């Protein structure tokens, strides 16, 4: 739903109820240009969780480079096995 700033001011309580019931988001425009979005808190939390998962995925990718310091000291198979086990434990703890 697209509403102007003036309409959003006049109908703010109704718009809050609308998005709070899990309907759609409300796009607020100023001079026919979208400037803000009103969304439900649940939708916000889902978006935030998804963003955090992307950040965590990037952090996990850096883990593999930290394992490189053990190359030559410990066999590659042992490093791979331990790295995989610790990564699985981290993901299990984080997402389950």
* pLDDT tens, position by position, 8-67: 999 999 999 989 888 789 999 999 999 999 999 888 888 888 877 766 666 666 665 555
Question: Which stretches of the chain are assigned E, i.e. beta strand?
Answer: 2-4, 26-30, 33-38
DSSP label of 71? B
**Residue 23: per-residue pLDDT:** 74
* CATH class assigned to 2-39: alpha beta
Based on the number of CB atoms within 10 Å of its own CB, is 43 exposed (0-12), middle (13-18) or buried (19 or more)? middle
User: How many other C-beta atoms lie within 10 A of the C-beta of residue 28?
Assistant: 19
pTM of the model: 0.52
């Amino acid at each position: 739903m697209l509403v102007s700033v003036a309409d959003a001011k006049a109908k703010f309580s109704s718009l809050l109820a609308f998005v709070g019931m899990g309907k759609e988001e409300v796009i607020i425009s100023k001079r026919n240009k979208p400037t803000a979005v009103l969304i439900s808190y649940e939708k916000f939390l889902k978006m935030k969780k998804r963003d955090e998962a992307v950040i965590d995925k990037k952090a996990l990718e850096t883990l593999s480079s930290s394992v490189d310091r053990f190359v030559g000291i410990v066999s590659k198979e042992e490093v791979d096995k331990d790295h995989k086990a610790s990564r699985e434990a981290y993901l299990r703890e984080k997402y389950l």
